[in-house]
Copies of this chain bind each other. A is one copy, B any other.
Amino acid sequence: MQNLNAAQVNVRGPFLRELMERAADKLIPYQWQALNDLIPDAEPSYCIRNMKAAAHITDTPHGGCVFQDSDLYKWIEAASLSLTWRKNAELEKQLDETAQLIAKAQMPDGYINTYYQLHDIKERFTNLRDNHELYCAGHLIEAACAHYEATGKRTLLDTACRFAALIDREFGREDGKKRGYPGHEEIELALIKLYSITHDEAHLRLAKYFIDERGAENQYFDEEARARGASGGWSRSIYSHNRYYQAGEPVRQQKHALGHAVRQLYLLSGMADVARETGDETLAAACKEMWKDITRRQMYITGQVGQSSFGEAFTYDYDLPNDTVYGETCASIALFFFAQRMLKLEAKGEYGDICDTLLYNGTISGMNLEGNRFFYVNPLENVPERSRKNQIFAHIKPERVKWFGCACCPPNLARMLAALPSSLYTYDKNTLYVNLFSGSDVNAELDGGQVKLIVSTDYPASGRVSIKVCEAFEGFTLALRLPRWVRTYTLTLNGKTTPTVMDEGYLYIERPKAGDEIVYDMDMPVRVVRAHPRVNSDAGLLAVMRGPVVYCAEEADNGDMLWNVSISPDTEFEAVKCAKMDIPLPALRAKALRTQEAPWDEYELYSDVHTPTYEEITAEFVPYYAWNNRGKGEMRVWLRESPLSAIR
- Which residues of A approach B to under 8 Å, CB–CB? 236-238, 292, 295-297, 299, 301, 307-311, 313, 315-316, 319, 321, 323-324, 383, 385-386, 388-392, 394, 485, 527-536, 539-540, 543, 545, 561, 563-564, 566, 569, 595-597, 600, 602-608, 610-612, 640-647
Known: A540-B643, A643-B641. A606 touches B561 (CB 8 A): no
Q: Which of B540, B607, B608, B611 contacts A540 (CB 8 A)?
A: B540
Contacts of A528 in B (CB 8 A): 608
Shortest Cβ distance from A647 into B: residue: B646
How many Å lie between the Cα of A569 and that of B643 in the bound state? Answer: 11
Contact B540 A389 (CB under 8 A): no
Provided the pairs A310-B392, A539-B595, A643-B645 are in contact, do residues A607 and B530 lie with their beta carbons within 8 angstroms? yes
Cα distance A647–B311 when bound, in Å?
46
**Are A596 and B533 in contact, with the CB atoms below 8 A?**
yes
* Residue from A237, A543, A640 whose CB has the most chain B CB atoms within 10 Å: A640
User: Which residues of chain B have C-beta atoms less than 8 A from A311's C-beta?
Assistant: 391
B533 engages A386 (CB within 8 Å): no
6 of the cross-chain contacts (CB-CB < 8 Å) are A308-B391, A315-B386, A530-B612, A540-B641, A645-B646, A647-B647
Q: Report B-chain residues with C-beta under 8 Å of the C-beta of A324.
A: 324, 392
Q: Which of B313, B316, B391 contacts A238 (CB 8 A)?
A: B391
Which residue in chain B gives the minimum CB-CB distance to A316?
Answer: B389
Q: Which residues of B contact A292 (CB under 8 A)?
A: 603
- A534-B562 Cα distance, complex, nearest whole Å: 10
Q: Which of A296, A539, A608 has its CB near the most chain B CB atoms (within 10 A)?
A: A608
Residues of B within 8 A of A564 (CB): 533, 539
Q: Are A606 and B529 touching (Cβ within 8 A)? A: yes
Say whether, besides A296-B605, A392-B324, A533-B595, A316 and B640 are in contact (CB < 8 Å).
Answer: no
Q: Are the CB atoms of B540 and A640 closer together than 8 Å?
A: yes
Given A529-B607, A602-B296, A603-B296, answer yes or no on A540-B566 (Cβ-Cβ < 8 Å): yes
- Across the A-B interface, give the 6 residue pairs with the lowest CB-CB distance, nearest first: A310-B391, A527-B608, A539-B563, A315-B390, A316-B389, A536-B563
Q: Min CB distance, A414 to chain B, in Å?
A: 29
* CB–CB A608/B530 < 8 A: yes
Which among B301, B308, B394, B533 is the interface contact of A561 at CB below 8 angstroms? B533
Chain B hits for A642, CB < 8 A: 643
User: Which residues does chain B contribute within 8 Å of A309, judged by CB atoms?
Assistant: 392
Q: Identify 16 new A-B residue pairs, CB closer than 8 A, beyond the known A236-B391, A533-B561.
A: A238-B388, A238-B389, A310-B392, A315-B386, A316-B390, A319-B385, A321-B390, A324-B392, A529-B607, A532-B607, A533-B597, A534-B561, A539-B564, A545-B608, A641-B643, A645-B646
- Report which of B319, B323, B485, B612 forms a contact with A533, defined as CB distance below 8 A: B612
Instruction: Give the docked Cα–Cα distance between A267 and B561 (Å).
Output: 33
A391 to B321, CA, bound (A): 13
Taking the nearest CB of chain B, how far is it from the CB of A319, in angstroms?
6
B529 near A597 with CB under 8 A, answer: no
CA distance in complex: A312, B540 (Å): 30
Name A295's contact: one of B539, B543, B605, B612 (CB within 8 Å).
Answer: B605
| B610 lies within 8 A of A530 (CB) | yes
CA distance A605 to B311 in the complex (A): 24
Tell me which residues across on chain B come within 8 A of A313, comparing CB atoms. 391
Q: Contact: B604 with A296, CB < 8 Å?
A: yes
A299-B605 in contact (CB<8A): yes
Given known A539-B595, A569-B611, contact A391–B529 (CB-CB < 8 A): no
Measured between alpha carbons, how far is A543 from B236 in the docked complex, in Å?
A: 35
The answer on a CB contact under 8 Å between A390 and B640 is no
Which B residue sits closest to A325, measured CB to CB? B392
Name A565's closest neighbour in chain B (CB-CB): B539
A220 CB to closest chain B CB (Å) equals 24
Q: A641 vs B612: C-alpha distance in the bound complex, in angstroms?
A: 12
How many angstroms from the CA of A561 to the CA of B608 in the assembled complex? 26
Q: Return the chain B residue nearest A298 by Cβ.
A: B605
When the two chains form the complex, which single residue of B611, B640, B646 contacts A539, counting CB atoms closer than 8 Å? Answer: B640
B237 touches A391 (CB 8 A): yes
Nearest residue (CB) in B for A297 is B605
CB–CB A532/B605 < 8 A: yes
Q: Which residues of B contact A530 (CB under 8 A)?
A: 606-608, 610, 612
B238 x A606 contact (CB < 8 A): no
Contacts of A563 in B (CB 8 A): 536, 539-540
Q: Given A539-B564, A563-B536, A603-B296, are A390 and B608 neighbors across the interface (CB < 8 Å)?
A: no
Return A486 CB to nearest CB of chain B, in Å.
12
Contacts of A531 in B (CB 8 A): 605-606
Closest to A599 in B: B533
In the complex, how many angstroms separate the beta carbon of A631 from the nearest chain B beta carbon?
Answer: 20
- In the complex, what residue of chain B is closest to A610 when comparing beta carbons? B530
User: Contact between B600 and A532 (Cβ–Cβ < 8 Å)?
Assistant: yes
Give the residue name and chain of the B residue nearest to A602 (CB). B296
- A604 CA to B608 CA, complexed, in Å: 38
Which chain B residues border A388 with CB–CB below 8 Å? 238
Instruction: Give chain B residues whose Cβ lies under 8 Å from the Cβ of A299.
Output: 605
Q: Which residue of B lies closest to A562 (CB)?
A: B536
Highest count of chain B CB atoms <10 Å: which of A605, A607, A641, A645: A605
Find the B residue at minimum CB distance from A237: B391
List B contacts of A535 (CB < 8 A): 605
If A602-B296, A605-B297, A606-B543 touch, does A386 touch B529 (CB 8 Å cutoff)? Answer: no
